Structure 1
Amino acid sequence: MGKHVNNWEVISGGLGLGLYWVWKGSVQPLEKDWVELLVLLGAMVFVPMAMRLSGALNTKTGRWAVTLSTWALLLAYLQEPGIVAALLALPWVLVSIWLLGNAFQKLLLSTMTLTDKVQFAAYLYFPIGPLAAFSDRLDWAPLGFSSIIILLTAAHFHYAGFLLPWILANLLGRNTASFWQQGVAWAVLLGIPAVAVGITSAQFGVDPWLETFAATLMALGGLGVAVWHAGLALESGLPMYQKFAMLGLFLCLGTGMILALLYGWRSYFPLSFLSIPWMYALHGTMNTLGVGLFGILIYRKISADKH
């Protein structure tokens, strides 16, 4: 795709997010609208950029499919929940499944290294995000979950489910991973679905140890990725903007994962300030900055050079 990556996603997504903000009138960090904004930011800007940088959107048809489906998702969030909103959210689900199919075909032709597995995992986990957004727009909360948990699931699988493995694949592609770095990779790969299983088990009244274990595994994996970048920022020969972005990722992702760890242990060591609204305002925003903004800044040129 060349060394110079255009900013179409930034322009298109920026217009869409601006429309959402104006339509809502006011978006506050402790309100549900904030989570919707984070979902749209991931869907319209960060995830498409990462997909294109990794070579998954190397045709005009693919790029237009993503752009139109994410604008349809935006329109879904400008509607009241219901059939119309759900139908508008459906194209993003279909595109995510199509991309998963392409990733599976690529996996079959790969050497099945840890990097290949991590790259595939990003596309394997990702459709759960659009499916959760579809469920949210349909106003359907399966298994008795609250609507905010369904919406948070949509956010989780856009950022932790897709962007974090995408970043990890770029890390693993730099050189041979050490033993602890391989451990970080597996903690992320297993932690992403483990969190979903843990939260579901808690919904059915299972002892909270499973949710706590899953949150700990995910947090340790995320912290490992954050520390990994802090070490890379100390290397010589990197552009200053990349070093700044690596430190930004370290601080934001690290903070987000520490909050997730504390929240995961709330059944044993409760902290009154870690309510769900504060978690999506703080943890959600930190993860968005860490794996979204700073992750793209770090790897946009590296990924573009590869493809």
Structure 2
Amino acid sequence: MGKRINSWELISGGLGLVLYWVWNGSVQPLEKDWVELLVLLGAMVFVPMAMRQSGVLKTKAERLAVILSTWVLLLAYLQEPGILAALLALPWVLVSVWLLGNAFQKLMLSPSKLADKAQFAAYLYFPIGPLAAFSDRLDWAPLGFSSIIILLTAAHFHYAGFLLPWVLSNLLRQREPSRWQRWAAWAVLLGIPAVAVGITSAQFGIDPWLETFAATLMALGGLGVAFWHAGLALKSGQPLNQRLASLGLFLCLGTGMILALLYGWRNYFLPPFLSIPWMYALHGTMNTLGVGVFGILVYRQNLAGKY
């Protein structure tokens, strides 16, 4: 799997998450605190590590700025929602916008392969996550959404919005994709905003078929990425640790996408265990393991300049 994981982001994020856990006393998977923990885990550990590994953060000053912004975000989640908490969440929003600007400039100066589009999509979609976290800390739920939906949006765009396209872009750089692999890639890239549009349309009372279609598109694309990694796990000649990480990504991401597919069809049939709390406990955790833990392990080599 290439180079050893650099420890700055991992140690800093780990300490922050321990502080959050101790501050709250306990964090239960079916409670809102679990979603907050997933947001912080993505913001403090996985997203900065992915940025670092892709060569986005080129200097120690840039890395330090990102780490500090995530610690300020942690402080926002140790406060009661309000103006102060929102102001503490603002630096993470500014970092995401700065990174999008850098990614846009690089895209304009480089060949526009599908892998480049996937990498740019990660930075294009990512600011929605920090913006949702800002809204959550401000205790403002626009368009009549519930507060838990806003918080879940923050989690979704750290993992499905950023880390999944980041994984996909690394995958696409390995070899020329087949026709079905290209279809899976586009299903992911189009499915991410489509899900947001579908959920918003349902909120305005529009027939839920659009949300169901978008969730199906996204889930099938994610399953395609999962099965693509299953093929890598079975490929001979790969180091054992790389194959195990690819297998873990397949199992966790695949499970998370199957749950998303079932939940996307909830307006037509809903398994009794797929309530919103169970979704963020199961689906959220599986996505965290899949594109977070195993995604970082599979693609931990330094891909400097490939963002």
TM band (smaller chain): over 0.9
Structure 2 residue identity aligned to 1:258: I
- 8 A contact 2:56–2:304 mirrored in 1: no
Contact 2:3 2:300 in 1 (8 A): no
The residue that corresponds to 2:246 in the other structure is 246
Contact 1:4 1:304 in 2 (8 A): no
* Shift in Å, 1:302: 5.9
Measured in 1, the distance between the counterparts of 2:97 and 2:84 equals 21
**Residue in 2 that maps onto 1:53:** 53
In 2, distance between residues paired with 1:91 and 1:306?
25
**What is the SS of the residue equivalent to 2:30?**
coil
| Cα distance between partner residues in 2 of 1:301 and 1:110 | 21
After superposition, residues 150-229 of structure 1 pair within 5 angstroms as: 150-229=150-229
Q: Which residue of 1 aligns with 2:19?
A: 19
Letter in 2 for 1:142: P
Q: Deviations over 1:52-111 (max 9, x none)?
A: 111111112211111010000000000000000000000000000000000000000111
How far did 1:236 drift?
A: 1.6
CA distance in 2, matches of 1:274, 1:304: 41
* Separation of aligned partners in 1, 2:238 and 2:15: 32
Aligned to 2:103: 103
Shift, 1:47, TM fit: 0.3
The whole-number CA distance in structure 1 between the counterparts of 2:98 and 2:226 is: 31
Query: Is the contact made by 1:27 and 1:33 (CA closer than 8 Å) also made in structure 2?
Result: yes
Aligned-pair Cα RMSD in Å? 1.4
Report what 2:29 is aligned to.
Answer: 29
Gaps of at least 5 residues in structure 2 are: none
Aligned 8 A contact 1:5 1:304 in 2: no
**1:168-197 CA distances to partner (integer Å, 9 max, x unpaired)?**
000100011111111011000000001100
Name 1:270's counterpart in structure 2.
Answer: 270
Q: CA deviation at 1:3?
A: 4.3
TM-score, scaled relative to structure 1 = 0.97
Q: Does residue 115 in structure 1 map to residue 136 in structure 2?
A: no
Greater length-normalized contact order (CA 8 Å, ≥ 6 residues apart): 2
Distance 1:3 1:48 in 2: 16
What is the identity, as a one-letter code, of the residue corresponding to 1:108?
M
Q: Distance in 2 between matches of 1:127 and 1:53?
A: 19
Q: List structure 1 segments (4+ residues) > 3 angstroms apart after TM superposition.
A: 2-5, 302-307
2: distance between equivalents of 1:141 and 1:271? 28
**Among the aligned pairs, what percent are the same residue?**
83
Structure 1 counterpart of 2:142: 142
Give distance in 2, aligned partners of 1:131 and 1:164.
Answer: 19
Q: What TM-score does the superposition give when structure 2 sets the normalisation length?
A: 0.97
